[in-house]
Amino acid sequence: MAKKRIAILTGGGDAPGLNAVIHAFVRACLNTMDYELIGYKFGYRGLYNNDYMKLDRQTTSGILHKGGTILFNSNKDNLFNFTVEENGVNVKKDVSDVAVENMKKEGVEVLVVLGGDGTLTSARDFARKGVKVIGVPKTIDNDLASTEVTFGFDTAVNIVTENLGRLHTTAESHHRIMIVEAMGRSAGWIALHAGIAGSADVILIPEIEYSIDNIVKKVDERKARGKEFTIIVVTEGAVEKGGSASIGKIVEDSADSIRFGGVAAKIAHQLENHPGVTNEVRYCTLGHIQRGGDTSPADRLLSSRYGVKAAELIKEENFGNMVSLQDGKMNYVSLEDVVGGAKITGETAKGGDKVVDPNGELVQTAKKLGISFGDE
């Protein structure tokens, strides 16, 4: 008789650490249980198309350090609201039953889903349909309230920090104001962490509205101390007082269709045209560089712990949960609470999102270091 199977998929945008989770999960399963493992390709789309590959020690060898995912990603395919063609017309349909049938046909007893809020919402919905599901929290933005840290975040912070260091030398040579746009959507975690670690002079995050005049105040203050250059890191979703976030593009069919972009260019233009600014201004958007390349050692470690914990939950038959880091230890939380607004960490949570607390310790630490948030 064919062996029982566990399937794994990677949904949403990629994040460094996906491969490390797959690597750890496969080994922990093979070492502790009697299952065969498969991976659906391109997230939920592979589940719908029954497009998968076998996962074993060989097919997952040498991937621990590599960013990206051997299973490929898709950020569009919500099977509960999926675009299908009917009589030459595109219509939205709930095709989740097709996915459940595919799993049955292939002998898949457990589905493990690596993803952010959109992907985990579908994971919850499959759990509600009776599928045995385990979630693993992924996103470089670190904006999930139901775990202390998502994997991918540390790598992104390292990349932004390194680039802030590189920009210091060229900014200093030219006496320029340099602006770096970081990812993070409406959460300022990447900019905040990298801004402190990379010694930025100004950190602009969506949780604290800024004004151009306040940024200029910081530039002047530095000049008065003989510092003729200024480094600014801004989250893509940051908002000027009385303004709105800069939208880069709309991705139809994506769980959250807005893609931010352009805020660094906007601020550069405003500063260059400000009567009080004499410096030249340049900006740089790090974009997907923050998600590419090798995974940081801290993310490899965190992902390995998440992967092993996911296998443990399966062994304990503890389904319908997402593995989660709580008080520094591996734990789990119900998928019902992941997207429903669970609040485990100390910062404020809106819905299932974890955002920076303007009065929290990190912001106050940065302010005491003399870093400006453009709010005063």
Contact residues toward ligand F6P (CB under 6 A) are: 13, 75, 116, 139-141, 183-185, 236, 251, 259-260, 291
**Rounded Cα distance, 37 and 29, in Å:** 8
Phi-psi region of 3 (alpha: psi -120 to 50; beta: other; left: phi over 0): beta
Q: Is the Cβ–Cβ distance between 138 and 152 less than 8 Å?
A: yes
Indicate the residue among 27 and 76 with the shorter CB distance to ligand F6P. Answer: 76
Tokens standing for residue 179:
């602006």
Smallest gap from Cβ 265 to ligand F6P, in A, equals 16
Smallest gap from Cβ 184 to ligand F6P, in A, equals 5
- The length of the chain is 376
Indicate the residue among 129 and 259 with the shorter CB distance to ligand F6P. Answer: 259
Indicate the residue among 196 and 286 with the shorter CB distance to ligand F6P. Answer: 286
- The residue sitting closest to ligand F6P, measured at its beta carbon, is 183
Amino acid at the residue 20: A
Q: Match 């959460």 to its residue by tokens.
A: 187
**Rounded Cα distance, 136 and 69, in Å:** 14
- Please confirm, yes or no, whether 117 is among the known catalytic residues: no
Q: Mark out the alpha helices in the chain (DSSP H runs).
A: 18-32, 44-49, 96-105, 117-128, 153-174, 189-197, 212-224, 263-272, 297-315, 335-338, 361-368
Indicate the residue among 197 and 258 with the shorter CB distance to ligand F6P. Answer: 258
List all residues 6 or more positions away from 128 whose beta carbon is below 8 Å from its beta carbon: none
Smallest gap from Cβ 65 to ligand F6P, in A, equals 20
Smallest gap from Cβ 288 to ligand F6P, in A, equals 6
Check 14, 117, 125, 141 and give the catalytic one.
Answer: 141
Smallest gap from Cβ 12 to ligand F6P, in A, equals 7
Smallest gap from Cβ 190 to ligand F6P, in A, equals 8
List all residues 6 or more positions away from 306 whose beta carbon is below 8 Å from its beta carbon: 21, 24, 136, 137, 151, 323, 330
**Rounded Cα distance, 126 and 313, in Å:** 17
Indicate the residue among 18 and 271 with the shorter CB distance to ligand F6P. Answer: 18
Q: Is the Cβ–Cβ distance between 125 and 255 less than 8 Å?
A: no
Indicate the residue among 185 and 354 with the shorter CB distance to ligand F6P. Answer: 185
The catalytic residues are 141
